[in-house]
């Protein structure tokens, strides 16, 4: 029974990896919206594997490494492929990027710097003892949502004011570079884990949760990059205040 209990968080982590594998195939095929759905599912499993490990008191080094490997696919490889797709579309809207052919413009592969930056960030996280109660740099799941939200905005909000900005090749490349910077910058960002429900100690967490809900209801997918920017700015503000 003890052996089964120890493997429950690892099983949840493997569900994250499975979601990432499915999302990878879908992203290569150009099914960006469905790929995003599976990435969101993977992030859901990523949240609950740690929760299960803490609740069952079975945290382990194996679980830590497995979690990073799963995140590398779900939150590292997939957003890189999605950015390649977006850059390809911005170059020629009549074609889609295909990993299996060599006919794409070389510029589309710049999107993979997000994957490289994610790998470096995950490796640093595993050996950085400072990231127990907060993050140093943008977590890979948040970065993945940021990148994947761009495809959702293009697909579901074509008339949005932000669409005309993100449908340009060089701006997408710039976003990719900024993404890598945010992943690995020495920015202290607060975690959303509640150690208690006291408002005075968690007001910024309550704020970001309520703001996110309200923004998603009002602006739908357009709200995702705005939420992440607000999260980063609020974290920087709290760090400066302290």
Domain ranges of the chain: 2-186
What mean pLDDT value characterizes the chain?
Answer: 88
pLDDT of residue 195: 66
pLDDT at 130: 76
Phi then psi dihedrals of residue 193, to 5 deg: -80, 125
**Six token digits for residue 219:** 């602006």
State the fold for domain 2-186.
1.20.120
Nearest to 223 by CA among 232, 215, 213, 234: 215
Alpha-carbon distance of 71 to 142, in angstroms, equals: 11
Give the CA distances from residue 164 to residues 32, 118, 221, 222, in Å, rounded to whole numbers and listed in that order.
18, 27, 15, 13
Q: How far, in Å, CA of 97 to CA of 211, rounded?
A: 35
pTM comes to: 0.90
pLDDT in the model for residue 163: 80
Please write the tens of the pLDDT for every residue from 155-165.
888 887 778 78
Question: What whole-number distance in Å separates Cα of residue 114 and Cα of residue 24?
Answer: 14
- Give the pLDDT score at 127: 86
């Amino acid at each position: 029974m003890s052996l089964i209990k120890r493997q429950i968080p690892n099983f949840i982590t493997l569900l994250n990896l499975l979601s990432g594998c499915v999302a990878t195939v879908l992203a290569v095929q150009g099914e960006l919206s469905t790929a995003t759905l599976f990435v969101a599912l993977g992030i859901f499993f990523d949240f609950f594997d740690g929760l299960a490990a803490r609740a069952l008191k079975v945290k382990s080094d194996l679980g830590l490494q497995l979690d990073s490997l799963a995140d590398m696919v779900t939150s590292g490889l997939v957003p890189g492929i999605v950015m390649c797709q977006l850059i390809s579309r911005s170059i020629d809207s009549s074609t889609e990027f295909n990993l299996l052919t060599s006919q794409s413009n070389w510029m589309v592969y710049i999107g993979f710097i997000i994957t490289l930056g994610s790998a470096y960030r995950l490796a640093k996280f595993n050996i950085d003892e400072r990231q127990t109660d907060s993050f140093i740099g943008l977590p890979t799941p948040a970065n993945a949502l940021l990148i994947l939200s761009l495809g959702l905005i293009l697909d579901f909000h074509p008339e949005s004011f932000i669409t005309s900005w993100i449908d340009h090749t060089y701006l997408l490349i710039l976003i990719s570079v900024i993404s890598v910077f945010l992943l690995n910058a020495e920015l202290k960002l607060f975690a959303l884990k509640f150690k208690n429900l006291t408002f005075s100690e968690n007001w910024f967490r309550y704020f970001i949760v309520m703001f996110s809900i309200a923004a998603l209801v009002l602006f739908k997918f357009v709200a995702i990059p705005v939420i992440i920017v607000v999260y980063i700015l609020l974290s920087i503000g709290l760090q400066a205040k302290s």
